[in-house]
Amino acid sequence: MRSLLAVAPENPLDFLVVLRNALAGSGPAVLPLATERAAGMPVLGDVPKRVAVVIETSGSTGVPKRAMLATNALLAGAAASAVALGGAGQWLLALPVYYIAGVQVLVRSIAAETTPLVLAPGHFDPQNFLRLAESLTEPLRYTALVPVQLARLLDAADDPALLAVLRRFTAILVGGQAIRPELIARAAELDVRVVRTYGSSETAGGCVYNGVPIGDTLVRIVDGQLELSGSVLAEGYLDDVARAADRFVVEHGVRWYRTGDLGSIDPASGRVTVLGRADNVIISGGEKVSLDAVERIVRSFGGFETAVVLGGDDAQWGQVPVLVVAGAEGAAADLAGVRASVVALLGRAARPARVVRVEQILLLASGKPDRVALARQAFAGTPDQ
C-alpha cells in the first residue's frame, strides 16, 4: 500500500514534478482537486501500491466517483496516444489537471520528455492561446480541448495568425462530451486536424480516436451498451467496492469496464459510435427515449446550439423531453421545425413537450452541462412554451 495525497495543483508545472514522482513510485499517489474541493479535505487512506493517480469524475449526472489509476494504465494510455497520433511531441495544456484529460497531457509530456506549455486558468481567450501556441518548439505539437474551447478558436480563426497556429498542430484532441458534427466539419474546412476522443477517468482518458480503439483497447456491445477492455483500465474506485464491482467485470479472464454509454460498432470497419448515456433515458408513454439523441437533433438547429434536453414529469405521459435554453436563445428559432425533425427521426414520444428558459446554461469545469443543477433550476420555474 502507499499513501494518497490530495493536492490543489494551482501551478501545473509544480504538479508535474509531484506526478512524475507518483508515476515512478518515489512519492505518494495523488488526488488532484480544484482548490475549493481540496479545502478541508480530510486525511485520505492508503491505496494499492501500483496506483499513482486518483481522479474524481465530473459528476454531471450523479455522485462523483474516484477512479484509481495505476502507473501502467496511465503510461499505456500515453504510449497508445503517441502511436495513434504519429509520434510523441510537445503539448499545450489548456485543461484543468484535476480532470483526466489534463493529467494525461502531463503524463504524455513526461513520457515524451518534453516540457508542456500551460495556458493560464480562467476564461478561455483565443488570443492567449495563440500567444502561447506560438512558443511551442517541437516539430510535433498537440493540445487537448473540450468542444466549447474548439468552437471559440474556430470562431476567431478569421485571424490569419491564429489560423496558421491552429494548422501547425499535429493534432488537436477534442473530447469530454458530445461534439457537434458541424464543429468537426468547420475544422476540416479550415484544414485544422481535430481528433475526436472517447474515454473516461476509468480508462485513463481517451482510448478511442475518431471511432477507432487505440493501443490494446477492445470494445464490445452488451445489451446496447459499450464496454471497454485493455491496459488502460482503472483498478476500481476509492472506498467504493460495490460500485467498482458493478462497473468492472471479468469474463473468461478478460476484465471489462461497463461505460454506461449506449453505442454501436460498425461490423465492416469496426468503427465505434457513441449514442449517449444509458442513464439519460426516460420512459414516455411506455416508450424509451434517449435524451442525448433528442439533444443532438435539437442542437443541429440554429438558435438551439447550446440547448440541453432534460426529462420532465408529465401527468399524462409520465415523463417528457424538455428543452432548457439560455436567455433569449431559440426565441426566433423554428421550434415547430425542431419538433417535427425529432418526431421524424425518433418518433412521437421523443417530441420536446416544452421549453424552459434559464439565465444561463450552467457548466461544470470540464465544459459539460451540469444537468443536476440545471434540472434543479429549470423545474423550479414555469415552462413558457
Higher pLDDT, 63 or 353: 353
The mean per-residue pLDDT over the stretch 262-289 comes to 89
Q: What is the rounded distance in angstroms from the CA atom of residue 238 to the CA atom of residue 135?
A: 39
Mapped onto helix, strand or coil, the DSSP state of residue 267 is coil
pLDDT at 57: 82
pTM of the predicted model as reported, rounded to 2 decimal places:
0.83
- The tens digit of pLDDT for each residue in 151-174 reads 999 999 999 999 999 999 999 999
CB neighbourhood size of 73 (10 A): 26
235 membership: H or E segment, kind and range: none
CATH 3.30.300.30 range(s) for the chain read 280-378
The mean per-residue pLDDT over the stretch 254-270 comes to 95
Angle, vertex CA 205, rays to CA 22 and CA 64, nearest 5: 85
Mean pLDDT of the chain: 90
Fold of 280-378: GMP Synthetase; Chain A, domain 3 (3.30.300)
Burial of 300 (0-12, 13-18, 19+ CB in 10 A): middle
Angle, vertex CA 256, rays to CA 253 and CA 258, nearest 5: 155
The mean per-residue pLDDT over the stretch 321-341 comes to 80
pLDDT for residue 148 is more than 90: no
CA nearest to 347, candidates 306, 296, 293, 299: 293
CATH 3.40.50.12780 range(s) for the chain read 2-273
Q: Give CA separation, 70 vs 31, 54, 67, 76, 96, in Å.
A: 13, 9, 10, 10, 20
End-to-end Cα distance, the chain: 57
The mean per-residue pLDDT over the stretch 19-41 comes to 87
pLDDT at 331: 59
pLDDT at 41: 67
pLDDT band for position 358 (50/70/90)?
confident
pLDDT at 19: 97
**Cβ–Cβ under 8 Å, residues 309 and 300:** no
Strand partners, 258: 227
- Tell me the pairing of strands 141-145 and 171-174: parallel
255 membership: H or E segment, kind and range: strand 254-265
pLDDT at 369: 85
Q: What is the rounded distance in angstroms from the CA atom of residue 211 to the CA atom of residue 232?
A: 17
Identity of residue 212: V
The mean per-residue pLDDT over the stretch 273-301 comes to 88
The mean per-residue pLDDT over the stretch 214-230 comes to 96
What the block records as the C-alpha cell of 18 is 509531484
pLDDT for residue 309 is more than 50: yes
pLDDT at 78: 98
DSSP state at residue 361: -
Which CATH code fits 2-273? 3.40.50.12780
